[in-house]
Amino acid sequence: MKIIFASAHDTDPHAWITPLQALLPDVEIQAWVDDGRAVGARIAVVWNPPRNIFMRETDIQAVFNLGAGVDALFRLPGLKDDVPVVRLEDAGMSAQMAEYAVYALVRASRQFDQYQSQQEQALWRPLPDIQREKWPVGVMGMGIMGARMAQVLAGLDYPVAGWSRSGKSLPGVQAFAGQAAFSDFLARTRVLINTLPLTSATSGILCRDTMRQLLPGAYIINVARGQHLVEEDLLALLASGHVQGATLDVFCQEPLPQNHPFWTHPGITITPHVAASSLREASITQVAKKINSYLRGDALTGVVERNRGY
Protein backbone atom coordinates (compact mmCIF):
# COMPACT_ATOMS: atom_id res chain seq x y z
CA MET A 1 0.00 0.00 0.00
CA LYS A 2 1.45 3.34 -1.07
CA ILE A 3 0.69 6.83 0.17
CA ILE A 4 1.49 9.93 -1.86
CA PHE A 5 2.40 12.95 0.27
CA ALA A 6 2.05 16.43 -1.24
CA SER A 7 1.89 19.37 1.08
CA ALA A 8 2.63 23.06 0.75
CA HIS A 9 3.18 23.33 4.53
CA ASP A 10 6.93 22.85 4.39
CA THR A 11 9.67 23.06 1.78
CA ASP A 12 11.09 19.78 3.11
CA PRO A 13 8.41 17.04 2.81
CA HIS A 14 10.58 14.66 4.82
CA ALA A 15 10.11 16.76 7.94
CA TRP A 16 6.54 15.40 7.79
CA ILE A 17 7.07 12.06 6.03
CA THR A 18 9.69 10.66 8.42
CA PRO A 19 7.57 10.95 11.61
CA LEU A 20 4.40 9.91 9.71
CA GLN A 21 6.16 6.84 8.30
CA ALA A 22 7.26 5.89 11.84
CA LEU A 23 3.60 5.79 12.91
CA LEU A 24 2.52 3.88 9.76
CA PRO A 25 5.15 1.10 9.41
CA ASP A 26 3.02 -1.07 7.08
CA VAL A 27 2.66 1.46 4.29
CA GLU A 28 5.16 3.16 2.00
CA ILE A 29 4.96 6.96 1.94
CA GLN A 30 6.39 8.70 -1.11
CA ALA A 31 6.89 12.42 -1.58
CA TRP A 32 5.24 14.00 -4.63
CA VAL A 33 7.76 14.81 -7.38
CA ASP A 34 6.62 17.49 -9.81
CA ASP A 35 7.88 15.91 -13.02
CA GLY A 36 7.60 12.35 -11.76
CA ARG A 37 5.33 9.46 -12.79
CA ALA A 38 2.39 7.94 -10.94
CA VAL A 39 3.49 5.78 -8.00
CA GLY A 40 0.17 3.91 -7.80
CA ALA A 41 -0.79 5.44 -4.45
CA ARG A 42 -4.09 4.41 -2.81
CA ILE A 43 -4.04 7.17 -0.22
CA ALA A 44 -3.14 10.85 -0.57
CA VAL A 45 -2.00 12.99 2.37
CA VAL A 46 -2.16 16.57 1.19
CA TRP A 47 -2.29 20.28 1.85
CA ASN A 48 -2.81 22.53 -1.20
CA PRO A 49 -1.38 19.81 -3.46
CA PRO A 50 -0.35 20.31 -7.12
CA ARG A 51 -3.33 20.68 -9.45
CA ASN A 52 -2.61 17.45 -11.36
CA ILE A 53 -2.32 15.11 -8.36
CA PHE A 54 -5.57 13.21 -8.93
CA MET A 55 -5.11 13.16 -12.72
CA ARG A 56 -1.74 11.43 -12.25
CA GLU A 57 -2.54 9.24 -9.22
CA THR A 58 -5.78 7.71 -10.53
CA ASP A 59 -6.03 4.86 -7.97
CA ILE A 60 -6.53 7.13 -4.94
CA GLN A 61 -9.20 5.68 -2.64
CA ALA A 62 -9.01 8.12 0.27
CA VAL A 63 -7.67 11.64 0.81
CA PHE A 64 -6.44 12.95 4.16
CA ASN A 65 -6.25 16.74 4.27
CA LEU A 66 -3.60 18.37 6.49
CA GLY A 67 -5.91 21.26 7.30
CA ALA A 68 -9.49 22.00 8.32
CA GLY A 69 -10.77 23.56 5.08
CA VAL A 70 -11.20 21.32 2.05
CA ASP A 71 -12.49 23.86 -0.49
CA ALA A 72 -9.23 23.88 -2.52
CA LEU A 73 -9.35 20.10 -2.95
CA PHE A 74 -12.77 20.19 -4.57
CA ARG A 75 -11.45 22.54 -7.25
CA LEU A 76 -8.87 19.95 -8.43
CA PRO A 77 -9.64 17.87 -11.51
CA GLY A 78 -9.87 14.09 -11.18
CA LEU A 79 -10.99 13.81 -7.53
CA LYS A 80 -13.70 11.15 -7.74
CA ASP A 81 -17.09 11.76 -6.07
CA ASP A 82 -17.00 8.52 -4.08
CA VAL A 83 -13.51 9.02 -2.61
CA PRO A 84 -13.72 9.92 1.08
CA VAL A 85 -12.03 13.20 1.98
CA VAL A 86 -11.01 13.42 5.62
CA ARG A 87 -10.05 16.72 7.23
CA LEU A 88 -8.09 17.69 10.33
CA GLU A 89 -10.27 18.19 13.39
CA ASP A 90 -8.80 20.87 15.61
CA ALA A 91 -5.27 19.44 16.02
CA GLY A 92 -4.29 22.57 17.96
CA MET A 93 -5.97 25.04 15.61
CA SER A 94 -9.00 26.11 17.65
CA ALA A 95 -6.83 27.54 20.46
CA GLN A 96 -4.84 29.56 17.89
CA MET A 97 -8.09 30.80 16.34
CA ALA A 98 -9.42 31.86 19.73
CA GLU A 99 -6.18 33.75 20.46
CA TYR A 100 -6.42 35.51 17.11
CA ALA A 101 -10.01 36.57 17.74
CA VAL A 102 -9.20 37.84 21.24
CA TYR A 103 -6.28 39.86 19.87
CA ALA A 104 -8.27 41.46 17.03
CA LEU A 105 -11.34 42.21 19.17
CA VAL A 106 -9.52 43.52 22.23
CA ARG A 107 -7.19 45.67 20.15
CA ALA A 108 -10.28 47.47 18.80
CA SER A 109 -12.48 47.47 21.92
CA ARG A 110 -9.68 48.55 24.33
CA GLN A 111 -8.35 51.16 21.86
CA PHE A 112 -4.81 49.80 21.93
CA ASP A 113 -4.01 51.45 18.58
CA GLN A 114 -4.85 54.80 20.11
CA TYR A 115 -2.67 54.11 23.16
CA GLN A 116 0.18 53.20 20.79
CA SER A 117 -0.13 56.50 18.97
CA GLN A 118 -0.32 58.33 22.33
CA GLN A 119 2.90 56.59 23.40
CA GLU A 120 4.57 57.86 20.23
CA GLN A 121 3.76 61.37 21.50
CA ALA A 122 4.71 60.56 25.16
CA LEU A 123 1.09 61.30 26.01
CA TRP A 124 -0.32 59.95 29.32
CA ARG A 125 -4.07 60.10 28.71
CA PRO A 126 -6.50 57.40 29.92
CA LEU A 127 -9.36 56.88 27.46
CA PRO A 128 -12.93 56.07 28.57
CA ASP A 129 -13.38 52.62 30.17
CA ILE A 130 -14.60 49.75 28.02
CA GLN A 131 -18.35 49.10 27.83
CA ARG A 132 -18.66 45.51 26.68
CA GLU A 133 -22.36 45.88 25.80
CA LYS A 134 -21.20 48.21 23.02
CA TRP A 135 -19.14 45.39 21.47
CA PRO A 136 -21.55 42.53 20.71
CA VAL A 137 -19.71 39.79 18.83
CA GLY A 138 -21.27 37.52 16.21
CA VAL A 139 -19.43 34.36 15.17
CA MET A 140 -20.37 32.89 11.79
CA GLY A 141 -19.88 29.12 11.86
CA MET A 142 -20.10 27.27 15.15
CA GLY A 143 -17.95 24.29 14.28
CA ILE A 144 -14.63 23.39 15.86
CA MET A 145 -13.12 26.87 15.30
CA GLY A 146 -16.20 29.04 15.85
CA ALA A 147 -17.41 27.25 18.99
CA ARG A 148 -14.04 27.56 20.75
CA MET A 149 -13.77 31.21 19.81
CA ALA A 150 -17.32 32.02 20.91
CA GLN A 151 -16.76 30.36 24.30
CA VAL A 152 -13.48 32.16 24.91
CA LEU A 153 -14.98 35.58 24.03
CA ALA A 154 -18.09 34.90 26.12
CA GLY A 155 -15.71 34.03 28.96
CA LEU A 156 -14.37 37.59 28.71
CA ASP A 157 -17.95 38.84 29.22
CA TYR A 158 -18.54 40.15 25.69
CA PRO A 159 -22.11 39.57 24.46
CA VAL A 160 -21.59 36.70 21.99
CA ALA A 161 -23.89 35.10 19.42
CA GLY A 162 -23.20 32.21 17.07
CA TRP A 163 -24.77 31.57 13.67
CA SER A 164 -24.72 28.19 11.99
CA ARG A 165 -26.95 25.95 9.90
CA SER A 166 -28.15 23.92 12.86
CA GLY A 167 -27.99 26.69 15.50
CA LYS A 168 -25.54 24.99 17.86
CA SER A 169 -26.25 25.96 21.42
CA LEU A 170 -23.47 26.71 23.90
CA PRO A 171 -23.66 28.14 27.41
CA GLY A 172 -23.39 31.95 27.37
CA VAL A 173 -23.69 32.15 23.57
CA GLN A 174 -26.93 33.21 21.87
CA ALA A 175 -27.73 30.73 19.08
CA PHE A 176 -29.04 31.69 15.64
CA ALA A 177 -29.92 29.01 13.07
CA GLY A 178 -29.97 29.15 9.30
CA GLN A 179 -30.80 31.73 6.66
CA ALA A 180 -34.08 32.75 8.31
CA ALA A 181 -32.22 34.02 11.38
CA PHE A 182 -29.30 35.66 9.54
CA SER A 183 -30.69 39.22 9.53
CA ASP A 184 -31.54 39.11 13.25
CA PHE A 185 -28.04 37.79 13.98
CA LEU A 186 -26.44 40.63 11.99
CA ALA A 187 -28.69 43.32 13.47
CA ARG A 188 -27.40 42.61 17.04
CA THR A 189 -23.74 42.24 15.97
CA ARG A 190 -20.98 44.84 15.87
CA VAL A 191 -17.91 42.59 15.59
CA LEU A 192 -18.48 39.95 12.92
CA ILE A 193 -16.08 36.99 12.92
CA ASN A 194 -16.18 34.57 10.02
CA THR A 195 -15.21 30.92 10.58
CA LEU A 196 -17.45 29.36 7.92
CA PRO A 197 -16.19 26.74 5.48
CA LEU A 198 -16.04 27.97 1.88
CA THR A 199 -18.91 26.33 -0.03
CA SER A 200 -21.32 27.34 -2.77
CA ALA A 201 -23.69 28.52 0.00
CA THR A 202 -21.12 30.72 1.79
CA SER A 203 -18.98 32.18 -1.02
CA GLY A 204 -19.32 35.99 -1.04
CA ILE A 205 -21.37 35.98 2.18
CA LEU A 206 -19.43 38.98 3.57
CA CYS A 207 -20.92 41.38 1.03
CA ARG A 208 -22.35 44.89 1.16
CA ASP A 209 -25.84 43.67 2.04
CA THR A 210 -24.51 41.59 4.96
CA MET A 211 -22.12 44.19 6.38
CA ARG A 212 -24.55 47.10 6.17
CA GLN A 213 -26.94 45.19 8.48
CA LEU A 214 -24.33 45.22 11.28
CA LEU A 215 -24.41 47.82 14.05
CA PRO A 216 -22.66 51.12 13.17
CA GLY A 217 -18.92 51.15 13.83
CA ALA A 218 -18.82 47.49 12.78
CA TYR A 219 -15.61 45.48 12.79
CA ILE A 220 -14.91 42.51 10.49
CA ILE A 221 -12.59 39.62 11.35
CA ASN A 222 -12.15 37.09 8.54
CA VAL A 223 -10.17 33.97 9.38
CA ALA A 224 -11.98 31.53 7.09
CA ARG A 225 -11.37 32.05 3.35
CA GLY A 226 -10.76 35.13 1.20
CA GLN A 227 -13.59 34.22 -1.17
CA HIS A 228 -16.11 34.76 1.63
CA LEU A 229 -15.43 38.50 1.47
CA VAL A 230 -16.37 40.79 -1.41
CA GLU A 231 -13.26 42.96 -1.11
CA GLU A 232 -14.59 46.06 -2.89
CA ASP A 233 -17.71 45.99 -0.68
CA LEU A 234 -15.53 46.12 2.45
CA LEU A 235 -13.60 49.09 1.03
CA ALA A 236 -16.89 50.90 0.25
CA LEU A 237 -18.27 50.32 3.78
CA LEU A 238 -14.99 51.44 5.37
CA ALA A 239 -15.15 54.60 3.25
CA SER A 240 -18.73 55.25 4.41
CA GLY A 241 -17.67 54.81 8.06
CA HIS A 242 -20.27 52.10 8.73
CA VAL A 243 -17.42 49.61 9.14
CA GLN A 244 -14.64 51.02 11.33
CA GLY A 245 -12.02 48.39 10.66
CA ALA A 246 -11.12 44.84 9.72
CA THR A 247 -8.56 42.22 10.63
CA LEU A 248 -8.06 39.86 7.71
CA ASP A 249 -6.03 36.65 7.58
CA VAL A 250 -7.27 35.28 4.25
CA PHE A 251 -7.65 36.80 0.80
CA CYS A 252 -9.07 36.05 -2.64
CA GLN A 253 -5.53 35.96 -3.96
CA GLU A 254 -2.75 34.68 -1.69
CA PRO A 255 -0.12 35.99 -1.29
CA LEU A 256 -1.98 39.31 -1.32
CA PRO A 257 -0.66 41.20 -4.39
CA GLN A 258 1.82 43.99 -3.62
CA ASN A 259 -0.42 46.67 -5.12
CA HIS A 260 -3.60 45.59 -3.30
CA PRO A 261 -5.36 48.53 -1.57
CA PHE A 262 -5.74 46.54 1.67
CA TRP A 263 -1.99 46.81 2.39
CA THR A 264 -2.07 50.54 2.95
CA HIS A 265 -5.62 51.01 4.30
CA PRO A 266 -5.39 52.51 7.83
CA GLY A 267 -8.44 50.55 9.02
CA ILE A 268 -7.21 47.14 7.87
CA THR A 269 -4.84 44.79 9.67
CA ILE A 270 -3.37 41.97 7.59
CA THR A 271 -1.82 38.65 8.53
CA PRO A 272 -0.59 36.10 5.93
CA HIS A 273 -3.01 33.15 6.46
CA VAL A 274 -1.61 32.22 9.85
CA ALA A 275 -4.64 32.55 12.14
CA ALA A 276 -4.36 28.83 12.88
CA SER A 277 -1.52 26.74 11.50
CA SER A 278 -1.52 22.98 11.14
CA LEU A 279 0.97 22.17 13.88
CA ARG A 280 3.25 19.45 12.61
CA GLU A 281 3.29 17.07 15.55
CA ALA A 282 -0.43 17.29 16.33
CA SER A 283 -1.37 17.00 12.65
CA ILE A 284 0.84 13.95 12.06
CA THR A 285 -0.44 12.19 15.17
CA GLN A 286 -4.06 12.79 14.15
CA VAL A 287 -3.61 11.84 10.50
CA ALA A 288 -1.73 8.64 11.39
CA LYS A 289 -4.55 7.66 13.74
CA LYS A 290 -7.14 8.32 11.05
CA ILE A 291 -5.19 6.36 8.40
CA ASN A 292 -4.76 3.40 10.77
CA SER A 293 -8.54 3.43 11.44
CA TYR A 294 -9.20 3.59 7.69
CA LEU A 295 -6.85 0.67 7.01
CA ARG A 296 -8.59 -1.41 9.70
CA GLY A 297 -11.98 -0.54 8.21
CA ASP A 298 -13.11 1.32 11.34
CA ALA A 299 -15.45 4.32 11.27
CA LEU A 300 -13.68 7.65 10.71
CA THR A 301 -14.43 11.09 12.06
CA GLY A 302 -13.80 14.25 10.05
CA VAL A 303 -15.15 12.79 6.80
CA VAL A 304 -16.42 15.65 4.64
CA GLU A 305 -20.03 15.43 3.51
CA ARG A 306 -19.58 15.94 -0.20
CA ASN A 307 -23.11 17.30 -0.83
CA ARG A 308 -22.63 20.08 1.80
CA GLY A 309 -18.97 20.72 0.93
CA TYR A 310 -17.69 20.63 4.55
Which member of 29, 191, 198, 243 binds ligand NAP (CB under 6 A)?
198
242 to 261, contacts with ligand NAP by CB under 6 A?
249-250
Answer yes or no whether residue 138 interacts with ligand GLV by CB under 6 A.
Answer: no
Our finding on whether 141 is near ligand GLV (CB under 6 A) is no
Q: How far is CA 248 from the centre of its chain?
A: 11
According to DSSP, the residues that pair with 62 across neighbouring strands are 43
Residues linked to residue 47 through DSSP beta bridges, in sequence order: 7
Q: How far is the CB of 66 from ligand GLV (least distance, A)?
A: 8
Does the protein bind ligand GLV through residue 196 (CB under 6 A)? no
Going by C-alpha positions, the residue among 105, 159, 162 that lies closest to residue 132 is: 159
Instruction: Please confirm, yes or no, whether 225 is among the known catalytic residues.
Output: yes
Q: Does 138 bind ligand NAP (CB under 6 A)?
A: no
* CA-closest candidate to residue 249, choices 272, 279, 276: 272
Distance, CA of 67 to CA of 275 (rounded, Å): 12
Closer residue to ligand NAP (CB): 134 or 308: 308
- Residues that bind ligand GLV (rule: CB under 6 A) add up to a total of 4
Residue in 191, 143, 193, 151 with CA at minimum distance from that of residue 174 = 151
Helix axes 93-109, 112-120, angle to 10 degrees: 60
Chain positions 44 to 73 lying near ligand GLV, rule: CB under 6 A, are: 67-69
Contact code string over 216-235 relative to ligand NAP, x by CB under 6 A: -------xxx----------
Q: How many whole angstroms separate alpha carbon 2 and alpha carbon 299? A: 21
Quick check: 146 binds ligand GLV (CB under 6 A)?
Answer: no
Question: Residue 303 in contact with residue 85, Cβ under 8 Å?
Answer: yes
Binds 165: which of ligand NAP, ligand GLV, none (CB < 5-8 Å by kind): ligand NAP
Let me know: does 72 contact 46? Beta carbons within 8 Å: no
Helix (H) / strand (E) element for 232: namely helix 231-240
Q: Which of 225, 242, 296, 306 is flagged as catalytic?
A: 225
List 162's β-bridge partners, or say none: 139, 175
Q: Which is nearer to ligand NAP, 66 or 191 (CB)?
A: 66
Q: Does 86 bind ligand GLV (CB under 6 A)?
A: no
- Chain residues in the site for ligand NAP (CB under 6 A): 68-69, 93, 141-146, 164-166, 168, 195-199, 201-202, 223-225, 249-250, 273, 275-276, 310
Residues with a known catalytic role: 225, 273
- Chain residues in the site for ligand GLV (CB under 6 A): 67-69, 278
